Structure 1
Amino acid sequence: MKKKIIRVTTVPISLGGLLQGQLKFMSSFYEILGVSSVGVDNKLKKVGQQEKVRVLPIEMTRKITPFQDIKALIKLYKLFKKEKPLIVHSHTPKAGTLSMIAAKFAGVPHRLHTIAGLPLLEANGLKRTILNTVEKITYSCATKIYPNSFGLKEIILKNKFTTKKKIKVIANGSSNGIDTEVFDNSLYSQIEKDNLRKTLNISKDDLVYIFIGRIVTDKGINELIEAFSKINKTSNNVKLLLVGGYESELDPLSSKTLNIIETNKNIISTGWVNDVRSYLSISNVLTFPSYREGFPNVVMQAGAMGLPCIVSNINGCNEIIIEGENGTIIPVKDSDALYNSMLKFYNNKQHFDSKKCRDLIVKRYKRQVVWDALLNEYQQIDNS
């Protein structure tokens, strides 16, 4: 009889998207139960079907909602007492805090939490104090902490959230690696690329910068729009693809930035898309000036598609990108540095070898490498 592992995320898109394929792989070795909120259009059920594992809904919110949080905490506790898993493994901040506390009180022997980013790094004052306290509580209830990058590990230790004994990076970093057989530019024919360019009103002579992610301040969009606008003033054969959705309530852009996006015909905003590969296939370089990340999938995806990347000097990004080999690294919140790097690429786009960009990702972050390392971690825990 297989031993049981419960995987918990706040929302189902993390369970089935960020961890895509991982639960199905692990179910060959352990009984896997996925727990998350129901999601839009009963997304959690679809994740269960996709991963071929049992799933159970427990509603959790991404915001601070004390009453709802307590309800979720009680439900998680009851679930863990009933299921008696060997391991509870959580991802995402809210799910991590609630499930680690609940698992400890329920007597779960092994409580693992993966860190994919620290939103508190951009907080100040009382909010930062509260978030620091919550983070320490989460880590103290866990038996093992897995930051998904070495830079994040150093930040956690520097802030004294936990001890060296309890913390470990799986493989070379990343929560799930990258499916390099799916993210491969050779899957797209020149005809398909030409048709998409035509649909988006991008000519064959245009150089295409692309950003993929949430269109919010925290991702450096204000700086990106400022930098692109400067290039666009002297060069009209450039396009900026913004692939992602807005979060106007949580992290709005400046009114100036929004106005430029709406009025500049060379900035193309696609909204949220389920499959970003076709957009990467017609682009020349990823621009990703985020303020903070855990281990950004989009940088690995772009690299696997053969794109060089311009990234900010933050953990995760500065591990995936090797300066001058598969991209360049710039200071955080520096629109001038971003502009200079974008301009340099415009003037000499042949500087980077697309094959080398891809090979560096395949070698270090192929999905199976991460899965095998995590499975080995589970088996070591199981045998301890």
Structure 2
Amino acid sequence: MEAGMRFLMIASFAESLIAFRGPLMEALQEKGLEMHVAAPDMPVGHSIRAALESRGVVVHHVPLERNGKNPLADARTLLALHRLMRRVRPDCVMCYTIKPVIYGMLAAWLARVPRRFALITGLGYAFGEDKGRNGLRAVVQRLYALALSRTDTTFFQNPDDEALFRRSEILPPDRRSCIVNGSGVDVASFQVAPLPDDSPRFLLIARLLGDKGVREYAEAARRIRARGARARFSLVGWIDNGPDAIAQQELDAWVADGTIDYLGRLSDVRPAIAGCNIYVLPSYGEGTPRSVLEAMAMGRPIITTDAPGCRETVVDGDNGLLVPVRSVGALEQAMMQLIEDWEKVVNMGQRSRQIAESKYDVRKVNAAMLREMGFE
């Protein structure tokens, strides 16, 4: 494939284009590609749009409801994406998160885009274990299967998700797939910060959703404080509008009783990571959790769940501890283990940085993706 081609990336959340795909776009531009992006909520003058345009990226607004279930709205998304592709005439399209993958891949196929790539960054709400989600999951699986049968390569961020898609025949046997180490982390920007040694300080960074394990984190914090342990528990994130969102009243109650130090939504999480000495993510499953990679790069031990995407980031007992999903008791025990062993905290933090450099450096991750897409 030659320079001068147009590459279109489609997202459901504008901020993710810079936060998660910025280095990948830069790598594509360095290969001589003309970079286009499409996402909702990016009118002229929007700060994210301005930041992308300053990098030489052509920005397109598309109507897309991330969490909506209105088929007419989704049909409008498909039509808008098809019209965009007929106008821009990209040589390659890459989509990530559920709706962009489904409707972006279908639109790209209808518009006869030559190369089509899907990136599965996690399973999302529809694939949760609650029986009430079974109907939604069945619909999403059928739509995924229709879309992914039109891809050249589907990228996964962990082997569990790839195995599920193969086993469930969401990804047809004749379609190529590739596992990459998450979105990677810029180890030069996320440098090692000294560990605060005055008291145990825990941190969780996440959208405030039940599936991120936020409630388990708050309950484990409450129990540890009830033991009299001199520990602090910080939370960074925001209340999402999904069906699994933490209620404002829940968050307010945690803050009011002193269980949680709520730091709000941060555009730069590095000061928050520097202010903790142990990072926690009790998620029910991820693609590969970016916040964990950032904490690892800054030299923090990790407590996370033995769940898809999460378990890949931790060698249990080496750079952190793995706990069962939804187990407040196990989470509490793991936290107490590190509260009582500062030497382990220090050693695990050093190993986290080493693993981040060797496995999750964003330059290595992007190089692997570019090779698969034919740009290396």
**Same fold at TM > 0.5:** yes
Provide the aligned length of Structure 1 versus Structure 2: 365
The answer to whether structure 1 residue 135 and structure 2 residue 144 are counterparts is yes
CA distance in 2 between counterparts of 1:281 and 1:225 reads 21
The answer to whether the 8 Å contact 1:4/1:87 transfers is yes
Q: Which residue of 2 aligns with 1:372?
A: 367
Q: Secondary structure at the match of 2:177?
A: coil
| Higher alpha-carbon deviation: 267-276 or 157-166 | 157-166
The answer to whether structure 1 residue 182 and structure 2 residue 175 are counterparts is no
Q: Which residue of 2 aligns with 1:27?
A: 29
CA distance in 2 between counterparts of 1:182 and 1:255 reads 33
The answer to whether the 8 Å contact 2:145/2:172 transfers is no
CA distance in 1 between counterparts of 2:242 and 2:80 reads 29
The answer to whether structure 1 residue 94 and structure 2 residue 89 are counterparts is no
Deviations 1:173-215 (A, max 9, x none): 21x31000111134x7x9xx7xxxxxxxxxx632101000112
Q: Secondary structure at the match of 1:27?
A: helix
Q: Which residue of 1 aligns with 2:56?
A: 52
> Residues 3, 282 of structure 1: CA spacing in aligned structure 2 closer, same or farther, 3 A cutoff?
same
Q: Which residue identity lines up with residue 200 of structure 2 in the other structure? A: L
CA distance in 2 between counterparts of 1:297 and 1:22 reads 15
Name the Cα RMSD after superposition.
2.2
Q: Secondary structure at the match of 1:24?
A: helix
CA distance in 2 between counterparts of 1:343 and 1:278 reads 24
2:322 to 329, 344, 366: 329
Q: Secondary structure at the match of 2:94?
A: strand
Q: Which residue identity lines up with residue 186 of structure 2 in the other structure? A: D
The answer to whether the 8 Å contact 2:148/2:172 transfers is no
CA distance in 2 between counterparts of 1:96 and 1:112 reads 9
Q: Secondary structure at the match of 1:168?
A: strand
Shift of 1:264: 2.5
Shift of 1:32: 1.5
Q: Which residue of 1 aligns with 2:73?
A: 68
Shift of 1:236: 4.1
Q: Which residue identity lines up with residue 145 of structure 1 in the other structure? A: T
CA distance in 1 between counterparts of 2:295 and 2:74 reads 36
Q: Which residue of 1 aligns with 2:11?
A: 9
Q: What is the TM-score of this pair, normalised by structure 1?
A: 0.89
> How does 1:1-384 map onto structure 2 within 5 Å?
2-29=4-31, 30-39=33-42, 42-62=46-66, 63-119=68-124, 120-122=126-128, 124-171=133-180, 173-174=181-182, 176-186=183-193, 205-247=198-240, 250-253=243-246, 257-258=250-251, 260-352=253-345, 353=347, 354-379=349-374
Q: What is the TM-score of this pair, normalised by structure 2?
A: 0.90
Q: What stretches of structure 1 of length at least 5 have no aligned partner? A: 194-203
Shift of 1:81: 2.1
> Residues 293, 215 of structure 1: CA spacing in aligned structure 2 closer, same or farther, 3 A cutoff?
same
Q: Which residue of 2 aligns with 1:197?
A: none
Q: Secondary structure at the match of 2:106?
A: helix
> Residues 50, 346 of structure 1: CA spacing in aligned structure 2 closer, same or farther, 3 A cutoff?
farther
Shift of 1:126: 1.7
Deviations 1:253-304 (A, max 9, x none): 3799546413232520011001111111121111100112111101101111
Q: Secondary structure at the match of 2:299?
A: coil
CA distance in 2 between counterparts of 1:326 and 1:219 reads 21
The answer to whether the 8 Å contact 2:6/2:92 transfers is yes
The answer to whether the 8 Å contact 1:91/1:114 transfers is yes
The answer to whether the 8 Å contact 2:158/2:309 transfers is yes
Shift of 1:248: 5.9
> Residues 294, 350 of structure 1: CA spacing in aligned structure 2 closer, same or farther, 3 A cutoff?
same
CA distance in 1 between counterparts of 2:250 and 2:199 reads 22
Shift of 1:150: 1.7
Shift of 1:251: 2.2
